[in-house]
Amino acid sequence: MAVLCNQRAAALHRNRGEGRRSWLRGVVVAAILALMALSLLPAAAQAQIGSDRYGAIVIDAASGRVLFAANPDATRYPASLTKMMTLYLTFEALRDRRITLAEPVPVSAHAAAQEPSKLDLRPGTRLSVEQAILALVTKSANDAAAALGEMLGGSEERFAQMMTLRARALGMAHTTFRNASGLPDPGQVTTARDLAILARHIIADYPEQYRYFSTPGFVFHGRMIPNHDHMLTSYEGADGLKTGYTEAAGHNLVTSAVRGNARLIGVVLGAASNPERDQHMAAILDQGFASLGIPGSGIVLARAGAMKSGAPKWGGLIASAHAATLPASFRNHPHGAQPSARLATAARWHKKHARLVHEASAHLAPHHKPASHAAHAAVPAAGHPGAQKRPLPQPPTLT
């Protein structure tokens, strides 16, 4: 009897040991499966969403209606997205006949000394205005941006003041510029919403010049300069605008895409890498188009090796970004204030900007005679896909 009890006790002990080992094996397997599942998540879910650099927004370009937003008004560093405003003021100068596309842009020692990315311009040389534009939209050349700023403003510092005043006149209430390139400066800040406003104005105000943003590359001094914006070749309907990166800002992107008869503008700030940035932009643009009843997945993630079979769908991840509730004022008007108040504020900034432009224009060639703003305000709504189907409304002329 005692032997039988001992045998039963030993068997019970063995069973308990097996139970413990089985439980431990289960915990280890569950941990491994969890890590495998985490590895399948898109990078943006792991690093970007919730990052203290992250901000994003998607708007309908025709109406300005916000379709997706996460930290849209949080202050961020624009990096080379700054060049969108440099180009906006360049297009403005072309419209007002203060400069021409063929006009030479002098390269100063200051401009040539800018940090990369750059064309490696040498002090005392020149490039044309059109070459400078192409250098900004493709290589994001900081030396060309500084040279343009010095030409249009007399100095890069004055040009940055012009950029800030124009930003405020456009309704970019939380943006301040300190240079023409986007190179690091603690005082140069913006928001995702402000950049969406700027992109919308570029497309609406200068539809003919907007075509530059889809340039795949250009030849400069025998070198082919490719476009840094991979969304142009990987996302259905994408036709611009701009990439940007600094260590403090993270990887930034503004993209406009047309699908069906709708154009959307997306902004992603603070991504951890270029692939993460592009994937997240594709996801929120897809979500925006879907909200308008336009199906389809724009980016070919499988070709890029960015999405594995069985990975979670992006839609469920975007919700974790805590999309901002849009204030009633923004629902009623795309620029975030009642039209009368907004126009009054914008008009004040516009007048300040106009005075600075007039002062800065004194050093330009005397044969350029600036035309009035009103004479060139009505620009044909053409030059981009879908324009005839759904033209963008022209913003009111500020006086």
* Catalytic residue IDs: 80, 83, 140
Return the structure tokens found at 188: 């140069």
Q: Give Cα 122 distance to the centre of its chain.
A: 30
**258-262, long-range: CB < 8 A, 24+ apart:** 258/384, 258/385, 258/386, 259/289, 259/294, 259/296, 259/298, 260/289, 260/292, 260/294, 260/386, 261/386, 261/389, 261/390, 262/60, 262/62, 262/289, 262/292, 262/294, 262/386, 262/390
Three-class DSSP category at 370: coil
Tell me which DSSP letter residue 96 carries: T
Return the structure tokens found at 79: 């990096």
Distance CA 161, CA 37 (A): 49
Return the structure tokens found at 334: 């795309």
CA distances from 135 to 23, 142, 188, 222 (A): 62, 9, 22, 14
Helix (H) or strand (E) holding 169: helix 156-169
